[in-house]
């Protein structure tokens, strides 16, 4: 009889503990069903620039999140873009003075990806991430004469820009990276992150982004 009593007590205790654990997991999943954050990063590759954007994600389970990463890298111009622009400037300088130019190659992107959260006991939540999507790369080249922008009027100077100095393309982009999320206060999170990306344009572009995201969990 005593043995039966101990067995019943053990079963009740185990059942109570399991119920509490299940409730705890459910509450945790409800509290972190997803997140949204604004992101500011330093971007470096061909040149050093900045990147701004945001991420929004939803939790599939305790460890997996599906997210959308969208933003804009202000400049990723390769050396060839400046070299090609220099040739146009040299041609204009043969007959005119005060010729100058500026080159930029911004990238606007949207990526769908997956985060894996590592199981840890502390408050910091490290993760790895990977995704793929579309990037729009624009060749933004301007020419000026004595401080006046003449880019839209180059034909009167017997110059017409080709696809190496103008236009935009839409190409596939992939991204991998890692980060660590710190639950700063209530639902507010701080996300320290690094992303490496590659745009599969005619001239492939590699760009790294390192920075911080500030957001909330919902």
pLDDT reported for residue 50? 98
pLDDT at residue 121, rounded to an integer:
85
pLDDT of residue 21: 38
**Would you state the pLDDT for residue 94?**
94
For residue 117 the two structure tokens come to 């959260």
A 10 A CB-CB count for 213 gives 22
pLDDT in the model for residue 49: 98
Dmax over CA atoms of the chain, in Å, equals: 110
- For residues 158 and 98, give the distance between their C-alpha atoms in angstroms, rounded to a whole number: 17
Domain layout of the chain by residue ranges: 34-217
Q: In the prediction, which pLDDT does 29 show? A: 36
Angle at the Cα of 60 (from 54 to 64), degrees rounded to 5?
75
Alpha helices per DSSP H over the chain: 2-31, 79-93
Q: Which strands make up the sheet holding 99-104, listed edge to edge?
A: 99-104, 140-145, 148-149
Burial class (CB in 10 A: 0-12, 13-18, 19+), 57: buried
* List of the chain residues with pLDDT < 70: 1-31
Cα(53)–Cα(173) distance, rounded to whole angstroms?
16
Rg (CA), the chain: 26
Q: Which pLDDT score, from 0 to 100, does residue 137 have?
A: 98
Residue 8: how many other CB atoms lie within 10 Å: 10
Beta bridge partners of 215: 37, 189
Confidence (pLDDT) at 76: 97
User: Which pTM does this prediction carry?
Assistant: 0.81
- Would you say how long the chain is, in residues? 218
| CATH top class, domain 34-217 | mainly beta
Q: Identify any residues that bridge with 172 across adjacent strands, giving them in sequence order.
A: 134
In the prediction, which pLDDT does 9 show? Answer: 43
Cα dihedral: 149, 152, 154, 160 (round 10): 140
């Amino acid at each position: 009889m005593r043995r039966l009593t101990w067995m019943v007590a053990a079963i009740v205790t185990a059942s109570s503990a399991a119920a509490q654990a299940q409730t705890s997991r459910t509450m945790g999943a409800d509290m972190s069903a997803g997140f949204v954050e604004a992101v500011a990063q330093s971007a470096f590759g061909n040149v050093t620039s900045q990147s701004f954007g945001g991420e929004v994600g939803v939790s599939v389970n305790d460890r997996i999140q599906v997210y959308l990463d969208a933003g804009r890298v202000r400049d990723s111009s390769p050396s060839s873009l400046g070299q090609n622009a220099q040739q146009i400037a040299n041609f204009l300088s043969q007959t005119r003075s005060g010729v100058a130019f500026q080159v930029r190659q911004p990238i606007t992107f949207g990526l769908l990806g997956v985060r894996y959260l590592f199981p840890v006991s502390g408050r910091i939540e490290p993760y790895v991430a990977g995704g793929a999507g579309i990037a729009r790369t624009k060749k933004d080249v301007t020419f000026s004469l004595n401080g006046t922008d003449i880019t839209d009027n180059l034909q009167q100077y017997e110059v017409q820009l080709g696809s190496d100095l103008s236009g935009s393309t839409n190409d596939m982009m992939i991204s991998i990276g890692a980060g660590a999320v710190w639950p700063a206060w209530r639902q507010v999170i701080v996300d320290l992150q690094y992303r490496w990306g590659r745009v599969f344009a005619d001239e492939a572009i590699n760009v790294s982004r390192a920075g911080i995201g500030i957001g909330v969990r919902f």
